Amino acid sequence: MQSLSPLDGRYRSQTEALRPYFSEAALFRARLYVEVEYLIALSDLPEVRALPKLSIKQRKALRLIIEKFTEKNAEEIRAIEKKTRHDVKAMEYFLKEKAGKIPGLKKHLEFIHFALTSEDVNNLAYGVLIQGALKEIIRPAIKEVIKDLLKLARQCKGKRMLSFTHGQPATPTTVEKEILVFVERLTYQYDLLIASQGMKGKFGGAVGNYSAHRAAYPEVAWEVFGRKFVKSLGFKSSLQYTTQINPHDDIAEISHLVFRIDTILINLCRDLWMYISRGVFKQKTVAGEVGSSTMPHKVNPIDFENAEGNLGLANALFDHFATKLPISRLQRDLSDSTVQRNIGVAFGYHLLAISSLRKGLGKISLDPAVLKSELAAHPEVRAEAIQTVLRKHGIAGAYEKLKALTRGAKVTDCDLDTFIDSLPIPAGEKKQLKS
């Protein structure tokens, strides 16, 4: 009840799946993972003679620190940070304390965080977490929405519906096609998200040129080592030229992709809201639920409204990530640090919105009677087909004739059929137009 953010309070259960990727404890653990793997990789360099090649037992013991990382460990790191006022340094001290208990490592502890800048660790840690969340949570959730829409489209197959352009009755369409419009749009962006380069790892020291590494071991091909190390963590590629930080173009790319997906979903939520308002879709009633505190009859489309609101919150952050994070003064400024801490918040609102949207999709069903009554109430929408057939037969002023008959007027099917009977076209064409 005391949570500042609803993601950690009211909506905690719906965003729980993201905690292993975006909680502070998850970030601590990811940093430790990078440091441990770096120490192991460093020990494999024959030129680094002061650090013997770690044994299988030593490697396993180091990796167990990560595997058995607990909330208590995270609190220990936080306690150290209160003294250091530096998060990565606190993690380094924690790891040194743990590694010092492993036989044979106590005299080699200074090789933990050797020649690194904090951002060598931070960017790789964030990259590991973001890639994991995309693979395990975000992309599968988007895929499920697409599946839900395909299922809805199949249920609506062959159902004709009055369309609206500019909010006015227009040429009939089918419910299935209108749903498939969103399936196609989402699938295209989803495929781009799958095919994106993902996170790119930065590794290279204080200003990206391995200067400290070279000072200690000039004979090592550090650029080759760096590329190999970054890829060993699961990144597709590493950045060759950087400042102190990853320039965050990777986060910007992902943010833009998710932003577009969210924008399409906002469009979907609003269209479904309108269809429900018209009665095209009915909503299931659930025993015990209340639609309005004063109007007992109400069944409000709250799932789609909640989804729309949370998608907007997510996109406000994704837009900021994409426009702010790639900009850093000279070789580095710290303004990206506090912004990056909110990446999980953006994905949290995104996931929350998808949860609401899918819940709403599961509660709607088509009302064929409303579809028929809407079409019957607007026979004037036949005008497009009639004037196009007249053009086919070369009848001058075809458009203008239909405009004079139907624009702004209330016409009936009988009026249109009478007009068709007066046309100088074959009887078969008249019969087709009347049908």
378 classed as catalytic: no
371 contacts: CB under 8 Å, gap ≥ 6: 159, 160, 161, 162, 175, 280
Q: Which residues pair with 238 in a beta bridge?
A: 201
364 phi and psi angles, rounded to 5 deg: -110, 150
Q: Which letter does DSSP use for residue 380 in this model?
A: G
Set 166, 293, 297, 422: catalytic member: 166
In angstroms, how far apart are the furthest CA atoms of the chain? 102
95 phi and psi angles, rounded to 5 deg: -65, -40
C-alpha to C-alpha distance for 146 and 361, rounded to whole angstroms: 11
Cα distances (Å, whole numbers) of residue 301 to 175, 204, 310, 364? 19, 52, 15, 10
DSSP 178-216: HHHHHHHHHHHHHHHHHHS----B--SSTTSS-HHHHHH
H or E stretch covering 360:
helix 343-361
The angle formed by the CA atoms of residues 319, 342 and 310, to the nearest 5 degrees, is: 60
Set 211, 292, 335, 337: catalytic member: 292
166 classed as catalytic: yes
Which residues are part of the catalytic machinery? Answer: 166, 292
